[in-house]
Structure 1
């Protein structure tokens, strides 16, 4: 995740971490989760088999 994080904008695709329900840009959280296996905000573990590194529904 890049240090200059940008806020989500209306209509922008995003992803939700299943365990904690925090929402991030899809590309950002995907890269983070693949390397760390946790939520970038609260460090909740992303369980293997929960639908991949990035979880949940598209929230467009």
Structure 2
């Protein structure tokens, strides 16, 4: 009887440890996902196409003075149908063909010099499960050269 109660108690403790470990792992994964989505390191900019707002009725002076996004690189307003990119760090807009070469060479905004996060390598959701050191260990070829 005493041996059975010790065995059932140890099973209860073992099950409790497993359940607590799963809960802690899920909570940690959820918090990392929340931080990851809040920081959005993979999202450097948003691409959009310029569209003019159309209003019903007569045109007014306000409609003609409607401001469109302005590209500070080529110094031109965006025309309807052009692709623009809005940097998520500072919300400045540029033509896609103007900002892409800039972002290939630099990681700052051309206007305010705000630091733009680098593109993550591969699938950014892998960073949720594995810490950055482990990912770099396998991607830099440390183990690949040993094989």
Question: TM-score, normalization: structure 1?
Answer: 0.65
Aligned to 1:56: none
Aligned to 2:96: 26
- Return 5+ residue gaps in structure 2 as ranges: 1-72, 121-147
Bigger radius of gyration: 2
Q: What is the distance in 1 between the residues matched to 2:83 and 2:116? A: 20
Aligned to 2:105: 35
Q: Residue deviations 1:30-60, cap 9 Å, x none? A: 111111111111111110137xxxxxxxxxx
Report the 3-state secondary structure (helix = DSSP H, G, I; strand = E; otherwise coil) of the residue aligned with 2:100.
Answer: helix
Q: How many residues align?
A: 48
Q: What is the distance in 1 between the residues matched to 2:75 and 2:105? A: 18
Shift >3 Å, 4+ stretches:
none
- The Cα of 1:27 is off from its aligned counterpart by 1.2
Contact 2:74 2:98 in 1 (8 A): no
Structure 2 residue aligned with 1:46, among 116, 129, 139?
A: 116
RMSD of the TM alignment (CA)? 1.8
